[in-house]
């Protein structure tokens, strides 16, 4: 699976990129049809604590799955977005088992 990470208005470090690639990479183990993923990281209004946003789009044949989560850190936002996508993938996979 191809993983593309974009960080808007800041430069993400290697450690964060590796964390994201590892988390998102686990999704291809759930559903082998995942073609690619696009992750966009951005910082919302700086006044609030929960200002880190992770948006993840998974490309699977015929569909795009999307999750957007906001949290205190990019790692936490990525983790919750991956969990949301895991549920979407399992639901999608269940449709084709019938």
Question: Structural domain of residue 80, as residue ranges?
Answer: 2-97
**Distance separating alpha carbons of residues 27 and 31, to the nearest angstrom:** 7
Which tokens belong to 91? Answer: 């639901």
Provide the number of structural domains found in the chain: 1
**What is residue 47's predicted lDDT score, i.e. its pLDDT?**
73
**What is residue 62's predicted lDDT score, i.e. its pLDDT?**
85
Please give the angle made by the CA atoms of 16, 46 and 13, to the nearest 5 degrees. 15
**What is residue 92's predicted lDDT score, i.e. its pLDDT?**
84
**What is residue 96's predicted lDDT score, i.e. its pLDDT?**
67
Instruction: DSSP for 12-54, please give it.
Output: --HHHHHHHHHHHHTHHHH-TT--EEEEEEEE--TTSS--EEE
Average pLDDT per block of 10 residues along the chain, 98 residues long:
91 94 90 90 82 94 93 95 94 73
CATH label of the domain that carries residue 13? 3.30.160.100
The CB density around residue 46, as the number of other CB atoms within 10 Å, is 6
């Amino acid at each position: 699976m191809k993983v593309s990470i974009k960080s808007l208005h800041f430069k993400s470090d290697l450690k964060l990129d590796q964390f994201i690639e590892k988390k998102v990479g686990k999704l291809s183990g759930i559903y082998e049809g995942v073609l690619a993923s696009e992750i966009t990281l951005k910082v919302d209004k700086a006044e609030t604590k929960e200002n880190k946003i992770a948006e993840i789009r998974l490309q699977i044949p015929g569909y795009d799955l999307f999750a957007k989560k906001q949290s205190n850190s990019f790692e936490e936002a990525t983790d919750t977005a991956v969990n949301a996508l895991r549920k979407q993938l399992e639901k999608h996979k269940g449709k084709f088992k019938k």
